[in-house]
Amino acid sequence: MSLLPFFQWCYATGIGETIRESTWLFPVIEAFHLLGLGLTAGSVLLVDLRLLGAGLNGQPVIPLFLSEAIKCYYSFPFWVKMTSLLLALIFTFTLRRRVTRTDVAAERPLPARLTGLISICLWFGVAWGGRWIGFS
């Protein structure tokens, strides 16, 4: 079964249409999206940099997606972003959580460092894929 009908339904929603037809709605929502990115990056990096031994001890995305859902369906960067996001979330709530719960950073630097590095790479992948949706 193809996901295309779902994406077409998203595209046709009232929210999607309103945003598409407005001059400034899309840019403003996107600015909020970027703000959320910065906040997420701040809190993720703080912990990941700590895991690397170098640091210190929700975003409005759906409306944007609705307004250009069909473009997203055919966009390679969109799927890169969603895959990275899924992996990042799974990683955050499984392995990374286990590492951050204990004081493993002090005891076993290598696994902790690896965890920090993988997390940073996954989130940067989300940001990279996301930015490229706009270029494709």
Partner 1 sequence: MSPLNFFEWLADVPWSVDLHESQYAYSIIESMHVWAMSLFFGMTVMFDLRLLGWTMRSVPVSEVIRRLRPWTIAGFVLMVISGSLLFFAIPLRSYQNIFFRTKMLLLLLAGLNVLIFHSRIFRDVAGWDTDAVPPRAVRRAGALSLALWIGVLFSGRMIAYNWFDCDRQPQPGIINFLTSCTATEAGP
Q: Which residues bind partner 1 (CB under 8 A)?
A: 23-24, 26-27, 30-31, 34-35, 37-46, 49, 54-57, 124, 127-128, 131-132, 135
Among candidates 99, 39, 30, which has minimal Cα distance to 67? 30
Q: Min. distance of Cβ 123 from partner 1 in angstroms? A: 8
In angstroms, the CA 9 to CA 45 distance is 36
Q: Min. distance of Cβ 124 from partner 1 in angstroms? A: 6
25 vs 104, beta carbon nearer partner 1: 25
7 vs 75, beta carbon nearer partner 1: 75
Chain-centre distance for alpha carbon 123: 6
Question: HSE on the CB side for 49, CA within 13 Å?
Answer: 10
End-to-end CA distance of the chain: 25
Q: Min. distance of Cβ 81 from partner 1 in angstroms? A: 12
10 vs 133, beta carbon nearer partner 1: 133
